Chains A and B, each alone.
Chain A
Amino acid sequence: MASQTHLNLSPAELAYLHASLSLTPPIRPDGRSPTQYRPLSAETGILPGTNGSARICFADGTEAIVGVKAEVEKTRARWDDETIFLEGQEGDEGAEEDKEKEQGGNREWVELTVEIPGQRDDDSGTIFLAQMLSEALLADGAFVERLKINRGWHWKLYLDILLISPPLSYPLPLLSLTTHLALLSTRLPRLKSEGDEDPFFDDDWAAAPHLYPKDRKARPPVTLLVMAVGNNIIFDPAKEELAVADVALAVSVGDSAERTGKTAEDEDMEVDGRKLRLLSIRTVDPPSRLTPPGVPNATNSAYGHAVAGPQQQKMPEARAVESEAVEGVWKAPRGGAKLAVMGALVQKVLERGGVADEVLDALEAVDLS
C-alpha cells in the first residue's frame, strides 16, 4: 500500500506542503503545473527474448521495465460449453457458429505480476497494484478477445512488471505507462494455419503483426493517479505530495474505437478521433492518514501552557479539544472524501483534451522498434 512507503516529514513540513498545494494555482514542490506529468524517457523493444518490452525512466530516478511473453495454450473446455454435451450427436453447424461468437476470452489467459524491490511478492500493496493493472486490462473483454487463435487454442500472455529502482514514489503511474508501451510493442507470430486446425505459425519474425495494430484506433488502457488537496486536483503526485493528499484515486481509462452498439454521442466523439472509456476506479489509501500530527502552541508545555492533568484527561471535554483544527498545524485527515470531490477527479481525468488524452498522445509518439 501507498501508506507503507515510509516518508519522514515533520508535521511542520506537512503543513507547509498542504498549504502550498491548496493555493490557487497550487505550488508543487517540483514546480510542475497541476496536470503535468514528470518528464520521462521511454524506449521499447529492449528485451530481445520477449514478444514485447518497454522501459520508462522518470526524471526522479524511478525506472521500470516490462516484458511480455506469449505462449500457445489449449483452450480448456468450459462448463457451459454446449459442445461437450453434444458429443456423438450430429454437429449442427448453425448452433456451433453462434456459440463461437459468444465464447469470448477468459481472464485466466493473462497473467500479470508486479515486482517491487524490497517488498515481498505477497505484500498487499504489490498485489493491489497488480490487481489494479490487470483489472483495467480485462475490464472490457476486448483484450482477451485478441488472444484467441481459434476455437481450440489461444495465446496465454505473461506480463512481468519490474520496478528496477527503489520505490521513491508510489509507482502506479510509472508501471501503468510502461505496461501500456510494452503492450503496444507486443507482436505475436503470424498464423499460417486456418480455421480450427492446430495452430502453425510463420517463423519470420518480421512478418509478425502487432497485438495492437498501428492503423487501428484501439489502445491498451492507462491508469492515472490523481489526488485532491483542498479544491485542487493534482495529477501524477510525487511522494511528498501524496503524503498530504485528502483523497487519491487511480482511474483507468481505455481507448477503444471499434465497438458495437454505438450511440449518437459516440459518433460525435469519433470526429475527434479518440473515444475514452472509463474502465476502473480504485481509491488509493493515502499515506497522509498515517502522518504524525503537529502540536498547537496552545497545548504545548514548551510554550508555558499547562499540560492537561490527570483529572482533565478524564473529562470528555478534554478529549474533544484534541480534534479541533488549528490553522497551520498539521493534522492527519479523518473521514472520507465528499462525493463532489471524487466526481470532479473522475471528470477531470475523462474530459476531452484532458490529461488522459495528452498521455495517450505522448505514448503514441514513442517509436515502436
Chain B
Amino acid sequence: MTDRRRINGPAGTTIPPVFEDEDIKHDSKVVKGRSRAPDAVRRMFLKTGVTPSASGSAYLEYESSAKSGVSGLKLSCTVHGPRSLPRSSPFSPHIVLSTHVKYAPFATKQRRSYLRDPSERDLGTHLETALRGAIIADRWPKSGVDIIISVIEGDQDRASSNIQGDETWDMMNVLSGCITVASAALADAGIDCVDTVAGGVAALVQNAGEDSTPTIVVDPIPSEHEKILGACCIAYLPTRDEVTNLWFKGDLSASAMDLYTKLVENGILASTSANRVLVASLNETLA
C-alpha cells in the first residue's frame, strides 16, 4: 500500500554518490571488527516514566560503537492502558494486547515510510508473543492495553556504503531492545507480570581473515562482522527460567545441534544482562 496523503520523493530509485575518502577508509580499517569480548553486551541506558501523558513509558539507548558513524539503537516505548474495551468489541476474559512497532522515517539508512511495512508489523507480532507470556492476562478481563514503540535511531553503519543484508540481522537487535523497553514500560504502568522479560541476541559469526572457525558472540553489530551465519533472539524470564519467545534465523546443519544449543544459551546470557539493567532501572524509580 502506498502513502497517498503526502508527497513522497522517489523511493530508492537513484543511487546517491558515495565518495571514497582516504581518511575515513583508513579510520574504518583501524576499528574494523568487534572491540568487545564475545560474551560482552553493549552498555545500555534505560529510564522509565519519560512520557507523562502515558500510563507507562520507557526509553532505551545502547552505547554507540567505537566506530565513527555507528550510533546505538534508541527506542521509546509508551503503554496506554489498561483501559476498557470499546462497546462494539466482543467479550474477552483476558487483557487484549496490541503492539505497534514503528521506525521513525529517519531511523535507518534507507528512509522508511509513514505507514508500517511488513517487517515492522512482523516485529510487532514477535513482541506480542514475547509479552503475552509475561503478562498475567486474566487479572484484567474486558480491557485492553496498547504498547507503542518508536525506533528513533537504528544501529546501522552510516559511514559504510555496504547495505547488503544488514537490515535482516538488525531486526533481531531491534526486537531484543523492544522486548526490554516494553517490559520496563509495562512495569511502569503497573501491569502485573509474572516476571520482567528481557530480550537478548546471540549470533554465529565468521570474521574476516579466519575462514574456518565460526564463533558465537552476543549482541552482534552486523557491520562489525564479515558474515553472520545465524542469529537468535530470545525473550527470557529469569526467575521462572522460561523462554517466552525464540526467533532463530540462519543456516545450520542438522548435525550441528550443539551449535544451536550454544547459540540459545548465549542468547539467554545476553538477555540476563539486559534484565539486570532493567531491574536496576526499576529499583532506581522506587528509591
Contacts and interface: CB of A to CB of B under 8 A. Distances in A.
Nearest to A139: B251
A37 interface: no
Interface in A261-285: 263, 265-266, 268-269, 275-285
Residue of B132, B163, B251, B256 with most chain A CB atoms under a 10 A cut-off: B251
A211 interface: no
A122 B195 CA distance: 32
Given A77-B15, A334-B194, A128 B125 contact: yes
Interface in B119-141: 119, 121-122, 124-126, 128-129, 132-134, 136-139
A289 B137 CA distance: 8
A155 to B, nearest CB: 19
Interface residues of B, number: 57
A80 interface: yes
Given A285-B129, A334-B136, A334-B194, A343 B264 contact: yes
B161 interface: yes
B253 A265 contact: yes
B12 to A, nearest CB: 9
Given A78-B164, A84-B15, A292-B93, A140 B118 contact: no
A277 B241 contact: no
A114 B63 CA distance: 39
A117 to B, nearest CB: 19
Contacts of B252: 277-278
A303 interface: no
Interface string B235-261: 111001111111111111111110011
Contact of A289 (B15, B132, B241, B245): B132
Contact of B93 (A263, A280, A285, A293): A293
B92 interface: yes
B241 A339 contact: yes
B163 to A, nearest CB: 6
B1 interface: yes
Contacts of B241: 338-339
A79 B248 contact: no
Contact of A336 (B125, B136, B244, B255): B244
Residue of B128, B242, B253 with most chain A CB atoms under a 10 A cut-off: B253
Residue of B18, B139, B243, B252 with most chain A CB atoms under a 10 A cut-off: B243
A253 interface: yes
Nearest to A77: B15
Interface string A230-271: 000000000000000000010001100000000101101100
B253 A283 contact: no
Contacts of B15: 77, 79, 84
Contacts of B51: none
Contacts of B118: 127, 130-131
A278 B161 contact: no
Contacts of A285: 125, 128-129, 132
A282 B126 CA distance: 9
Given A285-B128, A292-B93, A335 B240 contact: yes
Given A1-B125, A79-B162, A127-B122, A253 B243 contact: no
Contacts of A283: 129, 243-247
Interface in B99-132: 118-119, 121-122, 124-126, 128-129, 132
- Classify the interface of chain A: helix, strand, loop or mixed: mixed
A276 B122 contact: no
Contacts of B250: 139, 278-280
A246 B195 CA distance: 18
Given A281-B246, A293-B138, A346 B260 contact: yes
B168 interface: yes
A335 B93 contact: no
A350 interface: yes
Given A127-B122, A139-B251, A140-B251, A337 B243 contact: yes
Contacts of A313: none
Interface in B138-187: 138-139, 161-165, 168
Given A335-B194, A338-B242, A131 B119 contact: yes
A46 to B, nearest CB: 28
B191 interface: no
A269 B240 CA distance: 38
Contacts of A27: none
A332 B260 contact: no
Contacts of B36: none
Nearest to A138: B168
A84 B19 CA distance: 12
B255 A127 contact: no
A278 B204 CA distance: 14
B163 A336 contact: no
Given A280-B248, A289-B132, A335-B133, 10 more contacts: A78-B164, A79-B163, A127-B125, A128-B122, A276-B254, A280-B250, A283-B243, A334-B136, A335-B237, A335-B240
21 contacts: A107-B165, A127-B118, A128-B122, A131-B122, A140-B251, A276-B254, A279-B249, A282-B126, A283-B245, A285-B128, A289-B94, A289-B132, A322-B138, A322-B139, A323-B136, A335-B134, A336-B236, A336-B237, A339-B241, A339-B242, A339-B268
Interface of A: 1, 77-80, 84-85, 106-107, 122, 124-125, 127-128, 130-131, 135, 139-141, 249, 253-254, 263, 265-266, 268-269, 275-285, 289-293, 322-323, 332, 334-339, 342-343, 346-347, 350, 352
Interface of B: 1, 15, 18, 20, 92-94, 118-119, 121-122, 124-126, 128-129, 132-134, 136-139, 161-165, 168, 194-195, 232, 235-237, 240-257, 260-261, 264, 268
